[in-house]
Structure 1
Amino acid sequence: MPTQKTISPIDGSVYVERTLAEPQEVETALVKAVAAQKEWRKISLDEREAICRKAVEYFLNNADEIGLELTWQMGRPIRYTANEIRKGFQERANYMISIASKALADVEVEEISGFKRFIRRDPLGVVFVVAPWNYPYLTSVNSVIPAIMAGNAVILKHAQQTPLCAERYAAAFEYAGLPDGVFQYLHLSHDQVAQVIVDSRIDYVAFTGSVEGGHAVQKAINERFIIGGLELGGKDPAYVRSDANLADAVENLVDGSFFNSGQSCCGIERIYVHKDVYDQFIAEFAALTKTYTLGDPTNSETTLGPMVRTSAAEFAQKQVEEAVAQGAEALIDPKLFPAHQSGTPYFAPQVLVNVNHNMDVMTEETFAPVVGIMPVESDEEAIKLMNDSQYGLTASIWTTDIDAALAIGEQVETGTWFMNRCDYLDPALAWTGVKNSGRGCTLSTVGYEALTRPKSFHLKIKA
């Protein structure tokens, strides 16, 4: 039977091996999901909430163990991985649970004598969630918890790199007492994913991944009259104005560029700095970058782990080399990071200057600890450069002038506009992108709209 292997970036060993689902397993899962959802939708919102909160409790109780698994699966340093559960996962899950009653409430319309009219938010049915490896719990929780809270059944297909995350969800919902079939997971190949999407029993697809993957999902969705939420790539910019608090901007933008080895769809990949503070910013940014420790992510002292696989590091290195050949200057000597080694996933952070938009490193997603920095003369130039991208997930401005931040934000093509912060999802706000960063949204009350369909009730109560 076909299998999938998770190769740990730590040492190249096979950390997890799983058998792909057989056709009959897929069929059984779909049958169970449809049947379970018909009963689950009848369960009160209070009961759904109690079960989902208990599932979150399972994750919190096992955060350290889950963190260690995550480090071995995708390489993030152990000092950070448990926090994916304790901070982001918990925050998003609990927020979406807490707003469900408001988000799912009937929509009342103006009264007309003799009639009762309202709009009800019905669950869609079976939601198919296809999740990535880079933030495997943070990306999946955006859809899994609200889908179940809304009365849907969920089938989760997690990335080949992080299959244990899907199994952890199953364990959490079993611990919480979720009825059998409301949540299931399947280990699937790409071809099998497409086959599931075109199945008439799937009512919605929530996909997070690359633009290429998004096109494949959209192609499968187009076979049917359903929609899907697509959270795709990013080339997220930051603009540092002359009035910015430089120390704060440097600290946060270095972290936003290099956390998780730069493997974040909303990580900082390009920075534009006003010419008046450019030299100081560059000096401080490079100095802070050199304080990172690249190495074994199971070591608590490590702050920068390996990239997910060797090919990802080689892709980043190619972008750097091409930029340098075109005139860019690399400020970081990889020799400062002894663990950096060609032919492995261990890749030193890099800061590039003398860059421009003719270079791929400033226009194509890098998804690595590499950032390019350019000087600009004005807000207008910064806006033009930030918008010069096929992507539009997040963008940030660093300034003490909130009026300027709002005015500039109105002109930047992005799903989320930050002032003096970056690389964060606020669950109270819609998480969305424009252009090739995707379609639809998750989180916030708006996120529930994609997981339900409106059903209008028009009742004449007086003959």
Structure 2
Amino acid sequence: MPLPPKIETQDTVSPIDGSVFVSRQLANEHQVLASVEQAVTAYSGSNNSWKQTPLARRKALCQKAIEQLLSHKDDIAKELSWMMGRPIRYCKGELNGVAERSDYMFSVSEQALVDINIEDKPGFTRYIKREPLGVVVVIAPWNYPFLTAINVIIPALLAGNCVILKHSAQTPLCAERLYQAFTDAGLPAGVFQYLHMSHDNTAKLIANEQVDYVAFTGSVYGGEMVEKAASGRFIGVGLELGGKDPAYVREDADIDNAVATLVDGAFFNSGQSCCGIERIYVHQSIFDEFISKAIALAKQYQLGRADDPTTTLGPMVRTSAADFVRQQIADALDKGAIAHIDETLFPMSQQGTPYLAPQILTQVDHTMSVMTQESFGPVVGIMKVSADEQAITLMNDSDFGLTASIFTQDINQGIVLGERLQTGTFFLNRCDYLDPALAWTGVKQSGRGCTLSQLGFEHLTRPKSFHIKHP
């Protein structure tokens, strides 16, 4: 008699106090396979399958699901804060972003999915349909757990795909909240599912021959594992893998705006943002003024428990992540960098905890890991530069290319410089923001593929050409 499958569980440890906030049983291999079969059946198993459901009906159900999700804002905000450590005062903001992005995707879906008609040719009818792919697996991270997931889930469902969501072990309740919202909205069984899984079973899911697309957001290492699991299957794999996003402040910039924008871009969400500002280059003529104002602003942050409404800088997601940033800072100081924030101003910042004070470093260079390796924490290195050419060279000196920002009052020259940057998104006089009308993509180790904008739908559909000769 075969032994029953081993039951595996995962614990989500809250960075607020180190307690186990939620525990969940992981799906076994049989449950993973059953989920795929249910998705395949829901996708194309009958005449009223999700693939055959009219776009207007898909859109109505998805809109209702978003309304259901947003009706629980207060509870979701508390869960977010406890799971990943974002200050409670900012948690509802992510759900506002979910509404903004979903509304945009609803508004452009008809145009994005419409047939492409080819010019008349006597005796022929020709057109291209955009067909759904089938079963889409979404692997979402913890740092913006709803936004990163919704970027793919909504266009995938609108296009007629079925979705299986695997969320980070740090934020499992986000997957459950999304599932409940779609269920309450009346989505047919199997169209949207979630699975809490081990890494091994996640790899097996990706390798399953009935999975048609994988969208992953996470580390470069995680992206390599996804590519390896999908190797040889010739399916689409979308990868958003992070960055080391730079900013350049020209001598003609509005300094107050640049300081306020970039300090927020560096320290919001404790620096745990894929498109957060991680390195800044400032023209030498305004360097001292910029540094003085940035230090003064950084000192105003209130480091504390994420569930405290007065906190503006919460703990990092885990102690090991904070320790990595501490090591980067120590490495930079050993090589001659200067730290400008006295940690004693932030009593909660202590070794052996995820609580870490914000830090601004100068006298930095590209021999230091803090200027080349993704920090994903509340630290930013600021270098003095003498000219545009030096700044552009340093900004492009990176293995990553997600976003890059320039601050200047000369819009035309700013755009000229932006054309030379190796990046997925170029910002002028702003940073750290995703406009749903613009394609979200990266170059180099920041990944490949695209979400958001009308272009995001193209990665979740395949073209099918119709070439019809009339008798």
TM-score (norm 2): 0.97
Equivalent of 2:60, from 50, 64, 67? 50
Residue 3 of structure 1 aligns with which residue? 9
The answer to whether the aligner puts 1:73 opposite 2:83 as a matched pair is yes
Distance 1:309 1:260 in 2: 13
C-alpha offsets along residues 251-305 of structure 1, whole Å, 9 cap, x if unaligned?
0101000000000110000000000100000000000000000001111100000
Equivalent of 2:129, from 120, 127, 132? 120
Distance 1:64 1:281 in 2: 38
Residue 456 of structure 1 aligns with which residue? 465
Displacement after TM superposition at 1:94 (Å): 1.2
Residue 316 of structure 1 aligns with which residue? 325
The letter for the 2-side match of 1:445 is Q
Residue 109 of structure 2 aligns with which residue? 100
The answer to whether the aligner puts 1:166 opposite 2:175 as a matched pair is yes
Residue 12 of structure 1 aligns with which residue? 18
User: What is the CA RMSD across the aligned residues, in angstroms?
Assistant: 0.6
Displacement after TM superposition at 1:335 (Å): 0.4
Displacement after TM superposition at 1:405 (Å): 1.0
Contact between 1:68 and 1:82, CA under 8 Å: does it hold in 2?
no
The answer to whether the aligner puts 1:373 opposite 2:379 as a matched pair is no
C-alpha offsets along residues 364-414 of structure 1, whole Å, 9 cap, x if unaligned?
000000000001111100000000000000000001111011100110000
Distance 2:210 2:27 in 1: 17
Residue 62 of structure 1 aligns with which residue? 72
Residue 145 of structure 1 aligns with which residue? 154
What is the aligned-residue identity percentage?
60
- How many pairs are equivalent? 461
The answer to whether the aligner puts 1:36 opposite 2:42 as a matched pair is yes
The answer to whether the aligner puts 1:352 opposite 2:361 as a matched pair is yes
Residue 266 of structure 1 aligns with which residue? 275
Residue 342 of structure 2 aligns with which residue? 333
In structure 1, the residue corresponding to 2:11 is in which secondary structure? strand
Distance 1:6 1:95 in 2: 33
Gaps of 5+ in 1: none
Distance 2:285 2:464 in 1: 57
Displacement after TM superposition at 1:28 (Å): 1.1
Distance 2:460 2:302 in 1: 42
Distance 2:369 2:77 in 1: 34
Select between 228-237 and 108-117 the one with higher mean Cα deviation: 108-117
Contact between 1:130 and 1:158, CA under 8 Å: does it hold in 2?
yes
C-alpha offsets along residues 144-195 of structure 1, whole Å, 9 cap, x if unaligned?
1110000000000000000000001111101111111000000011111110
Residue 413 of structure 2 aligns with which residue? 404
Equivalent of 1:255, from 258, 264, 267? 264
Distance 1:53 1:168 in 2: 15
TM-score (norm 1): 0.99
In structure 1, the residue corresponding to 2:146 is in which secondary structure? helix
The answer to whether the aligner puts 1:134 opposite 2:146 as a matched pair is no
Distance 1:373 1:255 in 2: 15
In structure 2, the residue corresponding to 1:444 is in which secondary structure? coil
The answer to whether the aligner puts 1:246 opposite 2:246 as a matched pair is no
The letter for the 1-side match of 2:253 is A
The letter for the 1-side match of 2:26 is L
Displacement after TM superposition at 1:223 (Å): 3.0
In structure 1, the residue corresponding to 2:190 is in which secondary structure? coil
In structure 1, the residue corresponding to 2:147 is in which secondary structure? helix
Contact between 1:429 and 1:443, CA under 8 Å: does it hold in 2?
yes
C-alpha offsets along residues 23-54 of structure 1, whole Å, 9 cap, x if unaligned?
22111101100000110011111111111111
Contact between 2:213 and 2:236, CA under 8 Å: does it hold in 1?
yes
In structure 2, the residue corresponding to 1:154 is in which secondary structure? strand
The letter for the 2-side match of 1:182 is V
Equivalent of 2:286, from 277, 280, 284? 277
The letter for the 2-side match of 1:104 is L
Contact between 1:198 and 1:223, CA under 8 Å: does it hold in 2?
no
Contact between 2:251 and 2:408, CA under 8 Å: does it hold in 1?
yes
Select between 223-232 and 413-422 the one with higher mean Cα deviation: 223-232
The letter for the 1-side match of 2:203 is A
In structure 2, the residue corresponding to 1:431 is in which secondary structure? coil
The answer to whether the aligner puts 1:183 opposite 2:192 as a matched pair is yes
Contact between 1:205 and 1:228, CA under 8 Å: does it hold in 2?
yes
In structure 1, the residue corresponding to 2:211 is in which secondary structure? coil
Distance 1:308 1:448 in 2: 32
C-alpha offsets along residues 54-78 of structure 1, whole Å, 9 cap, x if unaligned?
1110121111110110000000000
Gaps of 5+ in 2: 1-6
Contact between 2:28 and 2:201, CA under 8 Å: does it hold in 1?
no
The letter for the 2-side match of 1:433 is G
Equivalent of 2:395, from 383, 386, 394? 386
Distance 1:195 1:28 in 2: 13
